[in-house]
Amino acid sequence: MESSDQLTIQATVRKKFFWLLLAIGLGVDPTAAKAQYGCGADPYANYTYFEACHAFLDGDQNIEDERWDIDFSKCLDRWPELRVSDDD
């Protein structure tokens, strides 16, 4: 009987260890994860809306073609502080 009890305890410990590792993995990974679309070849895939607008207003010619999901005509309406002044 002792052998059967010992096997049951070992199985329980293995299950608990598995769930502990799973919980730690799920808890740690999302903090360092960054979305990658495709093979990561698109340098603009991880840009936020603000970063994309900032790059567009700074003169990045490629971002408008790459981030077709953003309406760049509304960038200055949302972030007027990005407007380039003539004093610069």
Q: Is the dihedral of CA 74, 77, 80, 84 positive or negative?
A: positive
pTM higher than the cut 0.85: no
Return per-residue pLDDT of the chain as tens, 88 residues.
567 788 888 888 889 888 888 788 777 666 555 555 555 556 777 788 888 888 888 888 788 888 888 888 888 888 888 777 655 5
Question: What's the number of domains the chain is made of?
Answer: 2
Closest CA to 78 of 87, 68, 86, 70: 70
Considering the domain boundaries, does residue 72 fall inside one?
A: yes
Q: Are residues 27 and 40 in the same domain?
A: no
Q: Are residues 59 and 40 in the same domain?
A: yes
pLDDT at 36: 53
For the chain, where are the E strands, in sequence order?
Answer: none
Q: Are residues 11 and 44 in the same domain?
A: no
Range of the domain at 51: 34-83
Contact 53, 46 (CB under 8 A): no
pLDDT at 34: 56
